[in-house]
Chains A and B, each alone.
Chain A
Amino acid sequence: MKLKSLFVTLIALLCAAQVQAAKIRVVTTLTDLADFTRQVGGDHVEVFSLATGIEDTHGVPMKPSFVPKLNRADLVMNVGFGCEHAFLPALLEASKNPRIQDGHPGYVDCSVGITPMEVPLSTDHSQGDVHPYGNPHYMLDPVLAKTAVQNIYTALVATAPQYEADFRASRDAYLAKLDAKITEWQQLAAPLKGVKFVSYHEHWCYFASWLGMDYIGTIELKPGIDPTPRHITDLIAEMKAEHVPIVVREPQFPEKVPALIAKETGATLVKLPIMPGGVPNTGTYIEEMDYIVHTLVAAAQK
């Protein structure tokens, strides 16, 4: 009798392990993609994000501890447009996982279907660390983020077609929720239309386009290049002339220069996350966008 119960327990444990093993192992580069994957994949996915949310999207540290995760992954979800060029290619090579290499089904470029903005006419380094395929920060426009959700859905279905119905139901529910939030954000952000702002790095062109804001420029001289004193002086003069009321600082950049510019121009300095987890209480994409829209509206009304 004891043997029988032991046998049953063992079988149950094995079955549980089997269920665990059947999960799709997904590694995402950034936290917004992790959130979308969890929303669509539900219990069928095991998600690990390389970034925790507070990193620079182009500067996630290449930790060797990421390598075993990537080695075992079925899918790697990335933003695309060269956003992760500083860390993902080397990590993928080190992972020795042929399934997730660029060009293979496990490599999921979530930018597919999105028309990029700011595609450079030249990739010469005199223009800084430009992205040859265009600005990769489309995730800050939730309408475009829906395309990323769809791409994630397509990749999950291709990997585990047996869960297609579940994925579809989750995707539809999430997109409906996102659509409702988009309407809410657009109504809430009506006062932001035409409002001018500057930011540290050029993260915000898609966001500005979505809400009709006027994106004047960046504190960085060029992408990835620190501002020179002359650039700061010119930017302050331009902001004063254009009556720019908002300076955006992304959390991974130092506060000193943005604070100085805000002080000199009388603009309001706001710290805005560029992915979920960038500031406290923004663990999901919707929470992040909620935070961004509310913070900007409050700043514009000052």
Chain B
Amino acid sequence: MEQLKQQLRQMQENLEKTQNEQRQQIEALTKKLDELTSQRQTASATAPAAAVTTNQLNELNEKVNQVVEAQKKTLPSEFNPAIGFVGETVFSYRSKGSDQTGSDRPGGFDVWQRSLEMVASASVDPFAKGYAVINASADSASSEATLAVEEAALQTTSLPGNLELKAGRFFGEFGRLAYIHDHELPFVNRPLVLDEYIGGESQSDGLQLNWLAPVPHYVSATVGVGDHFGGDSPNPDHPGTFRAFDGLNFWGRLSSYWDLTPNWQLESGISGLINPKTEDRGGALLQPNGVSTLTEKERRLAGFDLKFSYVPLQNNQFRSFNWGTEVLYSDNRYLSDPDGIPSNGDEFRENVGSLGMYSYANYKWSRQWSAGFLFDYVQSTQNHSDVTMDYSPFITFALSHWNQLRLQYTHTSHNAASGLKPDDAIYLQWAWIIGAHSHGWQQR
């Protein structure tokens, strides 16, 4: 009985679908007929009406055939992933040389093809998608381009329980901007604190699990594990001959969001990272006195971030305001060797607690123009007395969605403990996109 009812429902549904399709076809044909009739009426007396109609039909057939042929040609590429390229060139002038600024770029005039990224993504199967970001960037000394896999990961799309698993090489979710690629930052350079405490982008080889809380309010939680964390040291943390479980990096993030009004938003999160046994990530670090060394034994990092945004519903393409701030506290444990001679008995363990932060505001007043200010403050992870500060006003001109110029001035000041000199720099960044690109959730 129930089966019969179901069959009947199915038949009714099919009938309605067919009726709908036929109704649409009738409407389209009626419209076409009206057009042809109207054209026939206005056709010149010398041209037979039937001939006009036949010619038009032939023309229409030709057009349809062209479309069919074109589709045949594109079919072999249907299985290719979506591919896009992002290019980024930075022209700069710095008042001091790299020996005085500690930068890996030279002072004076410099042109740097910072990156050429190829981004490819596609569904793997009904359960996962895959993506890869291959980056070629120019070496600061030789200008030779080196190719590196920035990201190559598999991401599930249909796990139950609001879960999503990512595996491979990817930018781990820590803080607000650590997992954003350079060209997507709202300013030219990555904030100092992210370079110092994370090591640039939050790259890791590992696993990451994200969970969306099943409640009406947005709450997202992420945990991850990987053999390194930070793009500046892409090699796994010193593996030795055997890496124990506590030799891995573990991180997590909890974030939430509030609509303050329809146009004002607040987003906030806390993050943490621990590597209980870093062994000697980065090796023995020579201290400014030129003798003593520090060797990292345990890495601990905590962060708090918030973003306050004005995104007017009506004209957010033309007007918006963002204020973002992130504060990080690094509490690394080191093996200190005062005379730099290993294993002579004078080594001791010490904790170095350091604080760093950045804060920026960016105001957009037209589809093309926006401007802002970035403030950076960071204490060295090895010596919290060593402080660096940056002040960076910037202005952005977006010729289009895929072509953007940004001019930034940065004044950097160091305190006496750093041994570095203050300097001034001007940057002109030109970033462009070709091919496929997506508006990702993380870049919102």
Contacts and interface: CB of A to CB of B under 8 A. Distances in A.
Interface string B86-104: 0000000000000000000
A203 to B, nearest CB: 15
Contacts of A113: 20-21, 24
A16 B151 CA distance: 50
A68 B218 contact: yes
Interface stretch (A37-45, A84-92, A231-239): A84-92
Given A64-B267, A251-B314, A91 B441 contact: yes
A129 interface: yes
Contacts of B157: 93, 98, 101
Contact of B401 (A72, A224, A252): A224
Interface stretch (A52-60, A75-83, A283-291): A52-60
A144 B438 CA distance: 29
A154 B17 contact: yes
Contact of B314 (A93, A96, A252): A252
Interface in B394-419: 400-402
Contacts of A129: 401
A87 B20 CA distance: 30
Contacts of A158: 13
A67 B218 contact: yes
Nearest to B309: A61
B265 interface: yes
Contacts of A147: 20, 24
Given A61-B316, A68-B217, A90-B444, A125 B402 contact: yes
B402 A90 contact: no
A216 interface: no
B336 to A, nearest CB: 44
A273 to B, nearest CB: 11
A71 interface: yes
B9 A254 contact: no
B24 A65 contact: no
Contacts of A93: 157, 441
A224 B400 contact: yes
B9 A96 contact: no
Contacts of B315: 56, 252-254
A98 to B, nearest CB: 4
A128 B257 CA distance: 33
Given A52-B313, A125-B434, A62 B164 contact: no
A67 B401 contact: no
A96 B162 contact: yes
A173 B265 CA distance: 41
Interface in B6-65: 9, 12-13, 16-17, 20-21, 24, 27-28
Nearest to A53: B313
A164 interface: yes
Contact of A55 (B215, B314, B401): B314
Interface string B430-444: 000010001111001
B441 A62 contact: yes
Contact of B257 (A54, A65, A89): A65
A293 interface: no
A51 B316 CA distance: 13
A150 interface: yes
A254 B369 CA distance: 14
Contacts of B12: 164
A64 B218 contact: yes
B314 A89 contact: no
Given A61-B313, A115-B28, A143-B27, A96 B259 contact: no
A280 interface: no
A22 interface: no
Contacts of B259: 63, 65
A300 interface: no
A68 B262 contact: no
B143 interface: no
A184 interface: no
13 contacts: A56-B316, A63-B265, A64-B218, A65-B217, A65-B218, A65-B257, A68-B217, A94-B212, A147-B20, A154-B16, A224-B400, A251-B314, A253-B318
Given A61-B313, A63-B265, A253-B318, 9 more contacts: A59-B317, A62-B444, A63-B257, A64-B218, A64-B267, A90-B441, A93-B157, A96-B162, A164-B12
Interface of A: 51-52, 54-56, 59, 61-65, 67-68, 71-72, 85-87, 89-91, 93-96, 98, 101, 113-115, 125, 128-129, 143, 147, 150, 154, 157-158, 161, 164, 224-226, 251-254
User: Across chains A and B, which 3 residue pairs bring their CB atoms closest together, nearest first?
Assistant: A64-B257, A64-B218, A98-B158
Interface of B: 9, 12-13, 16-17, 20-21, 24, 27-28, 157-159, 162-164, 212, 214-218, 220, 257-259, 262, 265, 267, 311, 313-318, 366-368, 400-402, 434, 438-441, 444
